[in-house]
Structure 1
Amino acid sequence: MSEVRPEMRYTEEHEWAVLTADGVIRVGITDHAQCLLGDIVYVDLPAVGAAAAAMQPVGTIESVKTVSDLFSPVDGAVVRVNQSLQSTPEAVNEQPYDAGWLIEIRTAGDPNEAMERLLTADQYQRLLDLIP
């Protein structure tokens, strides 16, 4: 069974989001997503300053099986990318909620309101329960 952390918010495309202490939203892919993808071999992340539109692609994740889009959970601008993934993309598999985070986004509006639009952990778990 995939790990779902209660303090995070989620998307139907299997990204997670958490509001950091400095008011930005940290984003990654869920444990469920990394399990489906298999061994991650490369991540293509946007540049700092790039615009991010909710539910639109902002990068790609390549595994031994496929290449998948990374979707932004919120509108805003990318303020930080996880540069360590360039040399250790496997961190996405090993620690998808910690060292394997992907980008941080600053929203133009209230970040709490942006987070409210995403799925709660319970809602995301129910979504996973529906997947065969």
Structure 2
Amino acid sequence: MNAADMNDDDRPLNLDVPDHLEYSEEHVWVDASVSPAIVGITEYAANKLGELVFVDLPEPGGRVEAGDEIVELESSKAVEPLICPVSGTIRYVNRDAADDPSVITNDPYNEGWIVKIELDDDEPELLSADEYLRIIR
């Protein structure tokens, strides 16, 4: 998802945007404080998509570059790719989310994580929580 596709009238107000995470403009969060880093979609993206009905996960062990479409998220409203904001090797995928995609919608920052990636050494260009909030509000 990208910010250009969304207008001010659709933006929910009281969103959770945890300070300890970093964000992309495509509404993806990264927790690089752990290894492998955890990646998921933001509450904003989850609200925009609505109830997810299918998640097409990549296979662990695959290599991903920042900007790659790595996951397809399907809801009753739309089919959207998850655009990975980091480069590295996918180590784990959330099979529970694949079995029950609503976990992503209902708990995007915890049980709804999508992939865990062993990051390359380069520093990804991500936004702080405050910078991300400025984009979505």
Question: What is the TM-score of this pair, normalised by structure 1?
Answer: 0.89
- Give the paired residue count: 124
Partner of residue 120 from structure 2, selected from 95, 105, 108? 108
The question of whether the paired residues in 1 share the 8 Å contact of 2:67 and 2:84 is answered with yes
What pairs up with 1:1-132 in 2 under 5 angstroms? 1-21=14-34, 23-109=35-121, 113-114=123-124, 117-129=125-137
SS of 1:13's partner is: coil
Structure 2, unaligned runs of 5 or more = 1-13
Matched letter for residue 135 of structure 2: L
| Stretches of 4+ aligned residues off by more than 3 angstroms | none
Matched letter for residue 48 of structure 1: P
Matched letter for residue 54 of structure 1: A
Structure 1, unaligned runs of 5 or more = none
Question: What is the TM-score of this pair, normalised by structure 2?
Answer: 0.86
Identity of aligned residues (%): 35
Matched letter for residue 127 of structure 2: L
Aligned alpha-carbon RMSD (Å): 1.1
Distance 2:19 2:77 in 1: 29
- Counterpart for residue 6 of structure 2: none
1:101 deviates by: 0.4
